[in-house]
Amino acid sequence: MVGAGVGAGIGCYIGGAKGAVKGFSYGSIIGGVSGAVVAGGNIASGSVEIVGAAQKTGTAFHAEASNLEDGKMLLHPGKFSKITFDRALKTAGLKGSQRPDVIGVARYGKNRLVEVVSKSQTRKQMKAKCKNMIRHNPRSGYRVVNWPAVFSKMKKRLLQSIKTKR
């Protein structure tokens, strides 16, 4: 996204609105390629172990959000030694039996615990769960990803309104 923003800014300065669109496109492509190279190199070199797969909950884009968070961790070469999907904290070498959607075990700095809110959960519930997990794992931080739940709820309301209009 940074590449896209920089590209759009430069494009806008040079060529107005059309330049901004073109710059955004080029910046997205270049940023995506460089991100893929870094993440792919991280995996190919064996510097990070990936355990499990993203959980499929029935919430639109839940698994994709988990994979996106994993991808963000992979963009930090050497920081994480292990990334787990839908596994107990103890599987990742941490304390507890809770199962966050993604765990990044850090070689340095803080471990990262990620909860993706599903359509049957609230952000408040997931935040409380994360706070409880880091209470027992003080060298950890957390992130709650809410957009898949919001999207699913909006989709449900839209489909209901279409049905009632028929």
d(CA 34, CA 44): 15
Q: 139 and 70 in one domain?
A: yes
| Residue whose tokens read 């792919």 | 40
Q: 56 and 41 in one domain?
A: no
The two structure tokens encoding residue 139: 């060298």
Residue 111's φ and ψ, nearest 5 degrees, are -65, 155
Domain span including residue 58:
49-153
Q: 71 and 106 in one domain?
A: yes
Domain contains 162: no
| Residue 165 neighbours by CB distance under 10 Å | 6
Q: 118 and 71 in one domain?
A: yes
Domain contains 158: no
- What sign does the dihedral 73-96-133-154 (CA atoms) show? positive
Q: 136 and 78 in one domain?
A: yes
Q: Are 83 and 76 in contact (CB under 8 A)?
A: no
Task: Quote the pLDDT of residue 20.
Answer: 46
Q: Where are the alpha helices (DSSP H) in the chain?
A: 2-44, 62-74, 123-136, 147-165
- What sign does the dihedral 86-90-95-96 (CA atoms) show? positive
Structural domain count of the chain: 2
Q: 72 and 38 in one domain?
A: no
Q: Residue 31 contacts by C-beta under 8 Å, 6 or more apart in sequence?
A: 1, 2, 3, 4
Task: Quote the pLDDT of residue 162.
Answer: 81
Domain contains 165: no
| Tens of pLDDT, residue by residue, the chain (166 residues) | 545 444 444 544 555 555 545 555 555 555 555 555 544 555 555 578 999 999 888 888 899 999 999 999 998 888 999 999 999 999 999 999 999 999 999 999 999 999 999 989 999 999 999 999 999 999 999 999 999 998 888 887 888 888 777 6
Domain contains 164: no
Domain contains 24: yes
Q: 119 and 137 in one domain?
A: yes
Domain contains 34: yes
Q: 67 and 7 in one domain?
A: no
pTM: 0.70
